[in-house]
Amino acid sequence: MLITIRELELEPLDFEEELPAAAVDLGSDGRLVAPVKTTGRAELFEEHHGKGLVLQDVRLHGKLATRVEMPCARCLKPVERDIHRDYDLLYRPEPSLSGKAKSPELELSGAESEISFYGGEGLELAEVLREQILLDLPLRVLCGEDCKGLCPTCGVDRNRETCTCEKPVDARWATLQELQAKFKK
Ligand SMILES: [Zn+2]
Ligand SMILES: [Zn+2]
């Protein structure tokens, strides 16, 4: 759904949307296994900067819920996690489109650095939701706290099979063995 500035100039927009999982591509980070449900409100917010310069910002706030599938960090088995996130975002017109906005007085300060920009007619809701879901993804998931992972040598899933690979010799242990060999002489 494209939220257009023209619409928002008339009145704020309350939305309730359900996007199919396939409409939101998370790339290699994971994939959605449930639709994205979101409710929220979009409204224009005018920033007055003196000299008659007014920026039309879009404030977008609401909440989203979906379910994501990611590989277990140890054994790669797919693991599902619920995602629930509240968002409150401010989008400014892209500097190139607002002309004077490039003047030094409009440089973003540190506190404002999370402000995003919109270009063209408005904001694509699916793209906004995709970014919010990516921000909410856990860095790593485990299928279980006791997951034994894959054998680094043969790749067998050690939760299901035992392999006969030798345990790699610890370097410190090897030094100790050398010392012992010397003393025996
Ligand atoms: Zn696992
Ligand atoms: Zn092995």
pLDDT tens-place string over residues 38-92 = 999 999 988 888 888 888 899 999 999 999 999 999 999 999 999 999 999 999 9
| Nearest bound ligand to the CA of residue 162 | 2
pLDDT tens-place string over residues 115-124 = 788 888 899 9
Ligand 2: distance of its center to the CA of 146 in Å? 18
C-alpha dist (Å) from residue 174 to 165, 166, 171: 18, 15, 5
Of residues 137, 169, 153, 143, the one with CA closest to residue 66? 137
Of residues 42, 68, 39, 75, the one with CA closest to residue 135? 68
Q: What are the backbone dihedrals phi and psi of residue 123, each rounded to the nearest 5 degrees, phi first?
A: -115, 135
Ligand 1: distance of its center to the CA of 65 in Å? 25
Residue 97 has pLDDT above 60, yes or no: no
Q: What is the mean pLDDT of the chain?
A: 86
Q: Rounded distance, CA 175 to CA 140, Å? A: 35
| Nearest bound ligand to the CA of residue 152 | 2
Share of the chain above pLDDT 70, in %: 83
